[in-house]
Amino acid sequence: MKAFNIPEIYRSEFITTIKKGRQEKDRLKRDFMPSILDFGKVRIHLARHFGFCFGVENAIEIAYAAIKENPGKKIYLLSEIIHNSHVNMALQENGVRFIMDTAGNQLIPWDEIKREDVIIIPAFGTTLEMERILKAKKIQQIYYKSKCPFVEKVWTRVSQIANNDYTVIVHGKPDHEETRATFSHSKSVAPSVIIKDLQEAILLADFILDRRPPDEFAKVFKDRYSEGFNVMQDLTRIGVVNQTTLLASDTQEIADYLMQTMREKYGINEEDTSAHFANMKDTLCYATNDNQSAVISMLSLDADLAIVVGGYNSSNTSHLVELCEEKVPTYFISSSDSMVSDDKIIHWDIHYQRLKVTSSYLPDKDAVVIHLTSGASCPDILIENVIIKLLSFYNLSLN
């Protein structure tokens, strides 16, 4: 796999050594059990896979290349390059400005941006509508290759479905940049609709099976279907693609449910669904799959708690939190700064979308066992800092 030129501020020699050691012993990635870091009073189960993925490293490398190659020019990102505040802040400190926030709200008016300025496309890609704006502005220097190749793979699947006259069902979070971009590309080539979870897949199935009148569709899926969508015609042949950072089990459950719905509707057997359902292979990225598999294996071991590090608006990280919460008390933090002391931690509640303060999060026992992982947009140095902070509470160090 390609080695990227990533700034040293994101790297950790300690973590790199661990990762290289695991890779050399397990080149085929068949062992998903965690690395055991035993410091006596603290025992850390470090997930087999975590941290920057291919797409994130690619995006960061290109962003810094844009800075280096364009001295004196104004450089803009359409929005956050990835969902990690530390990475985005470092880019801002290097003079990069964000045109929009992650919700698509304008931060810098378009009339301030000139054709000679530099634009970087985030890892999530962007919508066709945004591409048309950039074309109309006649921007001369646009860094498109910062897009994640696995997001582009989803768009390729969209084209494959569309070329075979299937309607595209996009499984994703409607307000996520990646889902918005995928839907934009999808609706330009095929009837399309976004569903966010299994409950909405069930609602969609109600329309497929004629359990709900077609005139309710517009209300149920408001602002999430393509123009001119015909419920009676466009739900006879469907295919599912997904946001790359979702929980694998959720994606599979939705695809299986909709495939079974088409079997029920048209009385077809398990061997022959292609006339009404495009059985596309899973479009989750490799890092999402590997990170989730590593967490599942890690959770097979006993621990007192889990710590997950990453951006609070990171989809793939939030799903690692969901997995951990099923087994142990879990604390979702952005950095070691969230660990105020050995008795106080500030962490993100993914259910209520707010910060919480928890006391006595580290149990009072001779040896504390902690599961530790991070999302695909989290720099390794943040994991090292968390380990150092944890050890400091017990008068221990890495050395």
Question: What are the residue numbers of the active site?
Answer: 178
**Sign of the torsion formed by the C-alpha atoms of 221, 225, 231 and 237:** negative
**Euclidean distance between CA atoms 90 and 80, whole angstroms:** 11
**Euclidean distance between CA atoms 167 and 173, whole angstroms:** 19
Three-class DSSP category at 265: helix
Give the pair of three-digit tokens for residue 296: 């599942």
**Euclidean distance between CA atoms 17 and 273, whole angstroms:** 48
Strands 344-349 and 339-341: antiparallel
| Distances from the Cα of 130 to the Cα of 56, 98, 99, 109, 268, angstroms | 21, 14, 11, 14, 41
Amino acid at 186: S
The number of angstroms, rounded, from the C-alpha of 277 to the middle of its chain's C-alpha atoms is 26
Query: Which strands sit side by side in the sheet containing 344-349, from one edge to the other?
Result: 339-341, 344-349, 354-359
Task: Give CA torsion, residues 21, 27, 28, 33, to 10 deg.
Answer: -10
